[in-house]
Structure 1
Amino acid sequence: MTDQIDSSTPQPARRYNYWLGGKDNFAVDRASGDEILKTFPTARIAALENRRFLQRATHFLTAEAGIRQFLDIGTGLPTADNTHEVAQRVAPESRVVYVDNDPMVMAHARALLTSTPEGRTTYIEADLREPAKILANEDLLETLDLREPVAVMLVAVLHFIEGYGAGKPIVRTLIDAMPSGSYLAVTNSTKDPLPPETAALYDAALASGITNIWPRDRAEFTDLFDGLELVEPGVTPVSEWRAVTDPAERPDPAHVAMYGAVGRKP
């Protein structure tokens, strides 16, 4: 798969890896990341806080909600404490399917495809925009039992689906395929906490193509959980969602500008 890797075009997973301090990125990704940092100098803070949300949400789902199956879409490049590592520390029998459409992530799949003997970890190359294909994938169906509850993780990926309301049909397709007792965890960029001048810069960056991260306001983000029971504390900045185990001094929500929430399918 490595011959498909495009090192001339910036990719979200590699740019995110750069912001997190990783080494699995190219000059074009670093240049893109730096360009975004010129307009949004706290983007690295947002990336770090989003990662912490993923870890806290996974721990909650495993330790408190009893989930043993995870469908993590938009995996990104491996860093410390991936979903399967957090889950399998709590419950070694946990099973995780990772999904990403970046060939470089596939090239690093061996780092993800480690698992406890009791559990299982699988990676599939697929696109969030085609949720039905993800659900029909043979490797997914061999790893996860869709008759039992699954946690669907859409962390820092749904905001690459542009357009108001465009994310909901994708979420609905995924959740409709899951049984009662399943969960949905989502994070998405938002302009809500931004001062007007920064929000205007965001709009300009979207229009110029500097960023393709679609911000969702609280109403649109909350609507993704239509029909689900929101887990306390509901929709919050990612940096504040059950953050009791994180450093006491939480960043300004305007420096993170991302919503996070977890919901349960009744």
Structure 2
Amino acid sequence: MSITCSNCQHTTDEGVFCIHCGAKLPEKIQGEAHSSQPLSSSQRVSYGEAQLNQGTEPTSNSMLTKERMQKASESSKMYASYVMDNIRSPYQRLQTISQSHLIQALVTMGIYALLIPLILYIQLQSSIGLFGDVPFFETVVKPFLGYIVFLLLIGAITFGVIVLNRYQASYTEVIARFGTILLPFVGLLILAILMSLLNIGMFILPLLIAFTGAIFVAPLLVLLSYHEPGCERIDLMYSILLIIVGAYVTIRIMSEVLLSFVSQLFRF
């Protein structure tokens, strides 16, 4: 790079002094010259740290992904163990269920709430899918959320009757037991969806058993798991009637969401 001396206007190569008059070259040029000098030790350390951080970032991300996968695997194993322990004799084990099983119970309730509208979606897709797409949100997502709310309301009604009888229980524990007792009905829904995929018309039978059983049978079994003869405040007969009436009123309120799938299925 050529440099013009500010004293004699002689053009020379890079350097500190002019080779013609010996005057010192401009300071800004020296700064440019200095910029080409080797990095200092502190600069080399900073550069090395930056390279090290860039190298360790993918490693930390992979470790985080591995930890998440491991946690997901452990959670799946815990839920599978929970299912196997309670599906064999659900009522006998119901008294051992506490609020520590709440997460597994909520997962079971979520699966139950998802399978019913999913069966409807499969049937509608196979029946009218040739004429257009079936709206997934209206057919699956919206009813799924409605069933979640409905199941929680049924659990609240059951909890209210249990409290009226002065049994020692918490709402989370009642929901944990209610979700656990739904396991056999989830099994029936899985059977119904397999039959639906195979175009077996009798799929409606396990579907209706699972639907009515979760509403009228499961809450009564939860109540009986707290029942202590001679300690109840309300006679068991009236407690059962209260749950049935409460479930019926809840169905009437949410009938547009809950029972729409039945009318849709019987059309095809």
Q: What TM-score comes out, normalization by structure 1 length?
A: 0.29
Q: What TM-score comes out, normalization by structure 2 length?
A: 0.29
